[in-house]
């Protein structure tokens, strides 16, 4: 791959723009030697304005999603991409959420530019369970666990029953729900089917990967190889 394309793929601009960037002399190696279009030192030695390059593809990020942000590149309002460096929204291959969260759902959101990994995690057969912490409007009545575990619950405007899901009651109006799949507004619609209403929803784990306590809302980090592997160990 050429330097121009490498930088364009990392979101530094179009090919024309990255060519201009290179010609302006701000792309160097780690000794400060200016690079030209035809140079391509090892990735980790390249600098732009003295800074290391963003991580190469494949990349997996973990974001603690705050309330009020959509998981879309198109939305005119606040999106999860506003919480990341602007370059990250321009990368090729693109950075996509692994299982979207609603605008008002918070918590663990993974993003990746690795399509295979994305499908491996979201496919129900992967066995990567997603756990949600739920705060409800009304007290639980006691029948919800059986309904969710039945494997026969069909959501409004759908025909295929949901896979069995687990309910763990934490309080009168508080519970954990564990899902194998990720249908549109699933947790909210499950509680609506049970005659309740979700006030707050937070995803706390995907497979064996838990949202760490020290990752504040709006903060993100890149996952290590071990953390990625932990997703498949629940």
Stretch that binds ligand URA, among 29-37, 85-93, 97-105, 223-231 (CB under 6 A): 97-105
Segment 141-170, which members bind ligand URA (CB under 6 A)? none
Residue 186 binding ligand URA, by CB under 6 A: yes
Residue 187 binding ligand URA, by CB under 6 A: yes
Residue 95 binding ligand URA, by CB under 6 A: no
Question: Smallest distance, Å, CB 197 to ligand URA?
Answer: 11
Residue 8 binding ligand URA, by CB under 6 A: no
| Residues designated as active site | 102
Residue 140 binding ligand URA, by CB under 6 A: no
CA distance 185 to 201: 11
| 69 or 81: CB nearest ligand URA | 69
Q: Site for ligand URA (CB under 6 A): which residue of 64, 105, 196, 205?
A: 105
Question: Smallest distance, Å, CB 160 to ligand URA?
Answer: 17
CA distances 64 to 50, 67, 164, 174, 205, Å, are 29, 10, 27, 20, 11
**CB 65, CB 106: distance < 8 Å:** yes
Residue 102 binding ligand URA, by CB under 6 A: yes
Question: Smallest distance, Å, CB 106 to ligand URA?
Answer: 9
DSSP calls for 20-33: HHHHTT-EE-TT-P
Segment 201-230, which members bind ligand URA (CB under 6 A)? 201
9-18 long-range CB contacts below 8 Å, 24 or more apart?
9/57, 9/91, 9/92, 9/93, 10/53, 10/54, 10/56, 10/87, 10/91, 11/54, 11/86, 11/87, 11/88, 11/89, 11/90, 11/91, 11/92, 12/48, 12/87, 12/90, 13/90
Backbone angles phi, psi at 9, to 5 degrees: -65, -25
Question: Smallest distance, Å, CB 147 to ligand URA?
Answer: 16
| 17 or 158: CB nearest ligand URA | 158
CA distance 111 to 132: 18
Question: Smallest distance, Å, CB 46 to ligand URA?
Answer: 38
Tokens of 107: 């918590």
Residues that bind ligand URA (CB under 6 A): 101-102, 105, 132, 185-188, 201
């Amino acid at each position: 791959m050429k330097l121009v394309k490498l930088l364009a793929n990392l979101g530094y601009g179009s090919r024309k723009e990255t060519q201009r960037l290179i010609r302006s002399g701000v792309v160097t190696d780690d000794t400060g030697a200016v690079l030209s279009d035809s140079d391509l030192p090892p990735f980790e030695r390249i600098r732009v304005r003295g800074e290391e390059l963003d991580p190469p593809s494949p990349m997996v990020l973990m974001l603690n999603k705050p309330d009020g942000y959509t998981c879309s590149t198109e939305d005119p309002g606040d999106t999860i991409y506003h919480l990341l460096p602007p370059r990250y929204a321009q990368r090729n291959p693109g950075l996509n959420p692994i299982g979207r969260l609603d605008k008002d759902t918070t918590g663990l959101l993974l993003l990746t530019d690795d399509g295979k990994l994305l499908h491996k995690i979201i496919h129900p057969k992967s066995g990567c369970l997603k756990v949600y912490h739920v705060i409800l409007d009304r007290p639980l009545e006691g029948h919800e666990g059986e309904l969710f575990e039945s494997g026969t619950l069909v959501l409004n405007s759908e025909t295929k029953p949901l896979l069995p899901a687990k309910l763990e009651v934490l309080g009168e109006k508080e519970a954990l729900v564990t899902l194998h799949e990720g249908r549109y507004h699933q947790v909210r619609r499950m509680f609506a089917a049970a005659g309740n209403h979700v006030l707050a929803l937070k995803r706390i784990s995907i497979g064996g990967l838990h949202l760490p306590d020290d990752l504040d809302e709006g903060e993100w980090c890149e996952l290590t190889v071990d953390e990625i592997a932990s997703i498949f160990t629940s």
